[in-house]
Amino acid sequence: MKLFSLVALASVFASSALAQSIQIGAPADWSSVLPGESVVVQVDRPNFNSQASEVAVVIAIFPCFSDPPLSCPAFERDGVGEILYNGPYNPQYPSPNPDNEPPQQNFTVTIPSGIKTGPAVFSVTHFSFTGANNFPLLESKNITLVVQ
């Protein structure tokens, strides 16, 4: 019975965390970028029924070592790469909002001028406290960009 209770509690925490996950709204996966180019990054936080205290996001880029990206870095081993933004995250509903978009925040970052061309992992790492008991949530989402 104890095991069942622990599994049920873990499942509640996991589903709560997944429901409060961010999404990278822009740029699109496999978009092309140029070294030195400014890129607008849209970080969406879909609606959910629990409270959240947003803390921060880190936006980073890490070039892959082959094409196709068979040896892209593994975050647990190689980290996130070059940090392009590290700071507060305060998503708001767009105004006006005719398409009923979720709360979001845009960040303008610059692709490093000396970055290797080819595929690169582009990541957004998000930290917040969620729920009535302020459960800490740390997550990382990524897409692939093609540096031309």
**Structural domain count of the chain:** 1
Q: What is the pLDDT along the chain (148 residues), one digit of tens a residue?
A: 554 444 444 444 444 444 568 999 999 999 999 999 999 999 999 876 678 899 999 999 998 876 555 556 665 557 889 999 999 999 999 999 989 999 999 999 999 999 999 999 999 999 999 988 999 999 999 999 999 9
**Tens digits of residue pLDDT in 96-118:** 998 999 999 999 999 999 999 99
| pTM as predicted | 0.81
The confidence score (pLDDT) of residue 64 equals 84
CA-based nearest residue to 75, from 29, 140, 18: 140
**Residue 71: what pLDDT?**
57
What range does the domain containing 106 cover?
2-147
The answer to whether residues 143 and 124 touch, using CB atoms and an 8 Å cutoff, is: no
What pLDDT is recorded for position 52? 84
Token digits for 107? 């960040």
Please enumerate in sequence order all residues whose Cβ is within 8 A of that of 18, keeping only pairs 6 or more positions apart, or say none.
Answer: none
pLDDT digit string, tens, across residues 59-79? 999 988 765 555 566 655 578
Tell me the CATH number at 54.
2.60.40.2550
